[in-house]
Every structure is written in C-alpha cells, then in structure tokens.
Structure 1
C-alpha cells in the first residue's frame, strides 16, 4: 500500500472513531486563568519526562528531568502548583487505570494522583502504544548510501496503517478520563515527530532520503490521529513539528533539537534534547496563552 493509501485509510478510521465516540463529551473547559492561579499537572511518557536530560534529577522511577518541557511550561504560566506525573515508558493505560512497572517498583496510574481541581493538563502519549520505533526500523539501511525502500514495502505500510487506526480510540479514552477527573481543566495533547526530516545521515539516522520523507509523513499522519482524538474529546492539540524544520536528528549538533539513534550523554536516542524540550514548551505556551 502506498503512503497516500495509508493516509486515506487512516482518515476513514478516524472518521469512524469520531462518529463512534463523539457522544456524551464533557463540556469544553474554559481558558487557563490569567491571574497566576494555574494548577498544572503534566501526564504522559518519556517525551514529557525527559530521561537522560539531567542525570542529577533522575533518582525517581520514571526518570523525570527538570529540563523536560513540563517544568518550562509551569514556569511560563506562573503555575501556583505543579505536579509532573509523566513516566518514561508509559502507555495510555498507565495514565488511566493500570499501574506501570518500573525498575524501582510499580507506579500508580497517573490520573489517580491528579487533583480534581487541576486547571491545566498536558499529555504526551501514544508512541509506546504503537511501538513506533519498530514500525520505522525496517527503513534503516545496513550500509552508508543504502536504501531499504520501506516506503514501497506493503508489509511496512500495512503495519503502520493498523497501528495508527487503533491509536485514536486509546488516546480519546485517555483524554476523556482526564476530563472526567478534572472537569475544569484545560487539556492539551502534545504531538509527536521532529526526529525525521527530508534526509538521512549515517550512522545517526541510517535511512535513505526517500524513506526519511516516508517516516516524516508517518508522523504527520500520527499527528492527524492525535489531533482528531483531541478535538473529539474536547481537548487541544499542539503540533511540535511546526517551527522545528531544520532541527531534526540529521541537523548539525548545535542545531539539532531531536536526537537520532546515537544520542549524546545528556539526551536519549530518538527523543527531544534540551533544545527540543524548550521548543516544545514554546509551542505549548503559545497555545495555552491564546
């Protein structure tokens, strides 16, 4: 199946999901108070937690760093209270109803610890649910200049289609659970992407230029699924790829916001680095302040 076919099929699946779940939604939350009384909770996975960014703060089971975008958002909104419950490796169910097992013991479902009077929630989730690195790994070449041609592989594109079609309902359910737990909160879903641009680079991102474009398109489709889930659940969506052009994993070290497969000591492979987290925080704040 060609990428265009995936886009059409995912769109159809999203439309069906929207029709099935758009009933009985909570009322849309009001804007975050401008008086400094923001009570902010950050939920989600490693794209919020920021493992490896700040080793001095990673004594907790979830590998949360103070350099992750949630801390920067809390500072930007002048939060009266701030609780970062994100956890590296989290799936949607670890946000809502299932304890997450970590190397230091189980972590309760994140929303169990979220106060009901929370007024702002950010959520980064979904990447672990579909195990996106395994979907993209067939695109990696085995030698410099190689071309795996994953973009033309029906097995690869079919797996991507299936994963994205199943992601929307999970994210919608998660957002709805958050809205029910904190009905006055403004809920912001933070998107994925940024790692892949229009070219590959050996060995940090060992992918042909044509397959890199396909991988970039995959994340665009994933963000479409996330944006639709947010809209139907009464939440807002932030596209973190906007404004990040030229800062993908193949950019020069000083310009790189997202790491490839060979991250440095103060960042994690296939994750945003500190500059990427700052960019994500700016994108979130741009939405919250509107």
Structure 2
C-alpha cells in the first residue's frame, strides 16, 4: 500500500529516531533549571524563635550572642525544595527595621553582612524577612493589654494605637532599598505576623484570649496586629516588595484555641512565637503559595 508523501516522511523520521535509541546513540537532553539563590533576613519570626523551645543557638553566620536563632524553620524548609538554594540565613531574634541600641544587627546590617559574605549579590533571586514587631514594641503592647481589665479594653486600645503610629513611621522603603542595592535582581518578600489570640467567635476557641488577657483585650490586640500587617503591606508594596499575609494559615491555631501553634508556657522567652507546627504549617505553606519558588527559578 502506498501512503501519501507526508505519512512516508513521518514514518521515515520515526524509523530514524528508533534506530538512534536502539543503537545507544545519545539524544539531546533538557537543561536542568538552576535553583533560585535565596537569603533569609529578619527578626525572631524569621529566625525560627520558638520552633525548638527551649533550645536556642547563636546564628553561625555571626558567631556572636548578639544574633540568636531558635532552630530550623520556614527558611530551612524552603531550602529543601529543589528549586531553592539557601545561600545564607542572617535572621536574628530581636532585630529591628530602625536603629537600635541593643547590639542586635538591624535588617540593614544583616543585609550588609550577607553582602560582605558574598551571599547577597546580583545573583540572588529571593530575599525573605519578617520585621517591624520589635520597632512597635510588640512585647510592651502585650503587657499593657494583659493588664487591662476594663470592659472596653481602653488601655489596650491606647497601646495598640501607639504601636500603629510607630508602624507608620517605619522606614520600610529605605530597608527594601538597602537590600535591593546589594541584590538588584532579587524578589524581596516581606512576611507578616499571625494573630496571637483566639477570640470568642472561633469554633476552635477553648479560652478567648488564651487566659493571657480578657476577651475584649484579645480582640483589640488582634485588630492591632491586623493594622500593623496592613501598614507593612502597604509600605512594602509601595517599595516594590511582595507582602505575604500569614494570618489565614494561623486561623484557629492562636493562643486559646484547641490546637495552638503559638508558644505559651514555662519558657517565657519563646512565648508569643510560633511552635514548630506554626512554622511548618503556617509560615512555610504561606510562603510556598505566595512566592511560587518553582516559577521563580524558571524566571
């Protein structure tokens, strides 16, 4: 039977490819994508503080007690992806956006150290960080709200309002600009903070406010967290960075819920920070979903 010319050409091509395969001749291979070079900066929420409570250690990038980390967290999990290669983790518990007298490296100082080490440069494709909570005195606000037993939590309202005012003064754009000055081709991702306290309206709530503060104060504090995240999101996006909201991932897992992912117990220095589950089930999936590292590596 005589096939039309197009079919004869197709059959001949198929026969040629088959001959190559069975003869052991090599065929062209697809080039593997290089993983995106990744650097992690930030405060305690970036440093895994609480992930291995009561364990903490000096960040080996500094070899100084001025920079402490709590253990493997979302940055280390990100590094396990084939599309990501962690070049350096410079996050320090207690870090701030603005200047500080604590001796703990600020975000800008972390970036400078990462650049000096050769981890942060024009080949860097991704930088992540959490920052801002220490600048607005998160811990002091928790203390003020915990002490407020008034029906409307007026003292807590005043404390959170002052925190939001401080947030509005944060130099997020300057911080993003500093990072971009070292790594002009990097995607910069600013991560937000979770709500810390369960509220009465949640189906998983055991104790509204977790026994730390009144239900009214807990609601005010969580609203203040939302406001802080909103300020950080607006400032980060205006500076050309991406903001990742983690609050949906922590919904139903706050302090006072039946399945809390926030530390609260005898190891007080780790209180109000995520547990190992908070990092692995909260921060990490939020990052993967928002950043899409496989696509970033292709880019």
TM class by shorter chain equals 0.7 to 0.9
Please give the residue correspondences for 1:1-290 in structure 2 after superposition, counting only pairs within 5 Å: 35-54=33-52, 58-60=57-59, 61=65, 62-76=67-81, 78-93=83-98, 101=103, 109-112=109-112, 113-114=114-115, 115-116=120-121, 117-141=123-147, 146-147=149-150, 149-151=152-154, 155-156=158-159, 158-167=161-170, 170-199=171-200, 201=207, 205-252=211-258, 255-260=259-264, 262=265, 268-278=270-280, 279-289=282-292
> Unaligned stretches of 5+ in structure 2?
1-31, 60-64, 201-205
Kindly indicate whether structure 1 or structure 2 has the higher relative contact order, using CA contacts under 8 Å at least 6 residues apart.
Answer: 1
**Cα deviation code 1:48-103 (max 9, x no counterpart):** 11234336661433222442211112223542343100011111147xxx89625x
| CA–CA separation in structure 1 for the residues paired with 2:155 and 2:50 | 35
Distance 1:190 1:45 in 2: 11
Greater CA radius of gyration, 1 or 2? 2
Shift of 1:251: 1.8
Q: How far does residue 43 in structure 1 lie from its aligned partner after superposition?
A: 0.3
TM-score, normalised by the number of residues in structure 1: 0.73
- Residues 198-207 or 40-49, more deviating: 198-207
Rounded Cα–Cα distance in structure 2 between residues aligned with 1:101 and 1:215: 28
Q: Residues 154 and 49 (structure 1 numbering): CA distance in 2 closer, same or farther, change over 3 Å? A: closer
What SS is found at the alignment partner of 1:206?
Answer: coil
Relative distance call for 1:225 and 1:263 in structure 2 (3 A) is farther
Counterpart of 2:3 in structure 1 is none
Shift of 1:152: 6.6
Distance 1:108 1:227 in 2: 19
Q: Are the counterparts in 1 of residues 97 and 107 from structure 2 also a CA contact under 8 Å? A: no
Contact 2:153 / 2:216 at 8 angstroms: preserved in 1? no
**TM-score normalised to the size of structure 2?**
0.71
Cα distance in 2 for residues equivalent to 1:233 and 1:108 = 15
In structure 1, list runs of 5 or more residues that go unmatched: 1-33
Tell me the number of residue pairs that the alignment of Structure 1 and Structure 2 aligns.
243
Root-mean-square deviation (CA), in Å? 3.1
